[in-house]
Amino acid sequence: MNRTIVWGHRGAGFRYPVENSMSSFKKATKMGVDGLKTETQLSKDEQVILSFSNQVNLNGSSKRISNLNLREIKKIKLKNNEQILTLRDLFNEFGKSNLIFNFDVRETPVGVKIIEIGEELDLIDRIEIAKPASIFTSLDDFFRPLREKNEKVNFVNSVFGGYKKNSIAEKELQFDVMEELNIQVFNIQHYKSNFELFKLIKDSGYKCYLWGVFFKHFMEKYLNMNYDDGRIDGIFTNYPDTLLKLRNEIQS
């Protein structure tokens, strides 16, 4: 069996006091993560900014990132006195590594820009673009413009989960759209996941990721989960060092 991918959420997650800082991403890579996961916003001058929030504090007031240009954003300091990062900052530092990258994208234009930069830097094969579970734009409306932009980039459909157990019908998983647009991965909120849903996803030919995995007993549960010689394909965590240690013990 292949080993489960360990994704460092915003770098080293809660192991470093400032998420999404360069120090946090470097710490995650030293821990040994397979990939880095974060969220993205688009600035006024169409620079991809690494930030969960679409707002920043500038001179004591809250400003939308979409209303600021990169020069203004770079003047803002994180709590550890580092600059807010762009996608290019991340790729300049880690683009020549073996890391893979997963980006939550709330709006399609941000995904378009990520694809353009990935094509420019020849990193498309290592990029995943994810539609967050909290964004209710249809899969077709969200992903079709991105698939038309690039045939190779990997797509991830994040859902809250709960097939059958929580009355989510199989049709709501939209396997027809997933197949048509070549969306390869379901990303399930872990505490609403179950083995039946995992089995359905694997039987249907898709990869299965889990998000929001913080606690050791859940990590152990999912690292031990397997079906038909397949494992949970990836886990997003804010404690990548703990997950890596457990993976080495369970999936050696």
**Type of residue at 37:** K
pLDDT tens profile 213-237? 999 999 999 999 999 989 999 999 9
In this structure, what are the phi and psi dihedrals at residue 66, rounded to the nearest 5 degrees? -65, -15
The number of domains in the chain is: 1
Specify the pLDDT at position 59: 83
Check residues 171 and 148 and name the one with the higher pLDDT: 148
> Rounded distance, CA 128 to CA 110, Å?
13
Q: What is the CATH number of the domain that holds 246?
A: 3.20.20.190
Collapsing DSSP states into helix, strand and coil, what is residue 47? coil
Buried (b) or exposed (e) across 116-150, using 16+ Cβ within 10 A?
ebbeebebbebbbbbbbbeeeeebeebbeebbebb
**Type of residue at 36:** L
213: containing domain: 5-250
pLDDT tens profile 161-192? 655 554 455 667 899 999 999 999 999 999 88
Q: What is the pTM of this model?
A: 0.94
How many Cα atoms sit within 13 Å of 97 on the Cβ side? 18
CA distances from 20 to 67, 69, 190 (A): 21, 19, 22
DSSP state of 251: -
Mean residue pLDDT of the chain comes to: 94
Specify the pLDDT at position 161: 67
Over 70: is that where the pLDDT of 123 sits? yes
Token output for 130 = 């994810």
Averaged pLDDT for residues 45-52: 97
- Nearest alpha-carbon partner for 107 in 85, 134, 86, 81: 134
